[in-house]
Copies of this chain bind each other. A is one copy, B any other.
Amino acid sequence: MSSIYGRNIKISIFGQSHSEAVGVVVDGLPAGHRIDVEELQAFLKRRAPGINEYSTKRYEPDVPEILSGLVGGVTCGAPLCAVIKDTDARPEDYDSILDSPRPGHADYTASIRYKGHNDKRGGGHLSGRLTAPLCIAGGICLQLLAEEGIEIAAHILSIGSVSDASFDFVNVDAEELKILKQKAFPVLRDDCGERMLDAIMNARQDGDSLGGVIECAVVGLPAGLGDPMFDGVENRVAGIVFGIPAVRGIEFGNGFDSAILRGSTNNDAFYMDGKNVKTKTNNHGGILGGITSGMPLFFRVAMKPTPSIALEQKSVSLSEGRDIAIEISGRHDPCIVPRAVPCIEAAAAIAILDMKVAASV
């Protein structure tokens, strides 16, 4: 198993849904950067469960304890380790799943992979809980990027069949992104957000769940970041984003839509904006040949509906080798998309800071 990501900024994530703690080591952080712990805490709160009606009732305050890497609040060049202790675990909720894999979950595949020794409580290491340490690492990277004027924010582009507007690919700016990050329910059009919340409530009442799409923007990136082939922005961002449970797809710029366009429409014309080279449209989403163009960077991530639903489902008894029906008790989000928004921002921040550090070569 490799829960380690990165080349220059390397993160190593550990913990299981109900282990003593979950946490992360961030290795390679440059020295001399002050970390605002309150800001980090505020960032983590956006991911934390239990804070509103559409998320799981499991309440984890998610207060990270920083064990190393800071001196007087400033990075000292040594690996930073932060842990979150488990405070509200109820592992008994998961007793029934020990023998019967939950549809849509990794219970079955993990059991094969780890020969039955995987931690079965709450999905073990394959739980969404592990996005908490991802957000710690990402929250720190976001602060370092912000020092250089790079802002990252995401919004919910759709929940089920309810859609928000897209970013303005050409004109989105840092201010807009900062405002977006302060929203309790991060959408561009609040009326769309309300309809999304309705859809979530409906799904919950039905004992069901919903997926959605998250759209992420990065502004302030210099041109010339990334490399062709296997170190492109897309490879790097995809390489970490697929580490977030429930992600099923990723696209950059106009992505799958580009496949139905002709080249004359899809190509973005260059022009001079004073002394700067820009493009009039931004179908390329800020990346050409794996390398940033200086235009805003965009990508979208598809998230499947939470597999944990209250409805009865069909599964098997592994021990008895026969089909059975199961019901999943416990506390679960009818839609994890809102809580995944900061995770996507975190993942993007880690990938980009890692590339940025390499690019200063």
Decide if A37 is an interface residue (CB 8 Å cutoff).
no
Which of A39-47, A73-81, A168-176, A177-185 interfaces with chain B? A73-81
B208 touches A125 (CB 8 A): no
B8 touches A361 (CB 8 A): yes
B77 touches A117 (CB 8 A): yes
C-alpha gap A255/B16 in the complex (Å): 26
List residues 11-32 of chain A with CB under 8 A from any CB of chain B.
12-16, 19-23, 25, 27-28, 30-32
B12 touches A267 (CB 8 A): no
List residues 233-279 of chain A with CB under 8 A from any CB of chain B.
234-235, 238-240, 242-243, 245, 247-256, 258-264, 266-272, 275, 277, 279
B interface footprint on A183-201 (CB within 8 Å = 1, 0 otherwise):
0000000000000000000
Copy count, this protein chain: 4
B interface footprint on A106-121 (CB within 8 Å = 1, 0 otherwise):
1011101111111100
Q: Which residues of B contact A23 (CB under 8 A)?
A: 67-68, 81
Decide if A53 is an interface residue (CB 8 Å cutoff).
no
Decide if A305 is an interface residue (CB 8 Å cutoff).
yes
- A contacts, CB < 8 Å to B: 1-5, 7-8, 10, 12-16, 19-23, 25, 27-28, 30-32, 65-69, 71, 74-81, 83, 101, 103-106, 108-110, 112-119, 123-126, 130, 158, 160-161, 203, 206, 208-213, 223-232, 234-235, 238-240, 242-243, 245, 247-256, 258-264, 266-272, 275, 277, 279-280, 283-284, 287-294, 302-309, 311, 313-316, 318, 321-323, 357-358, 360-361
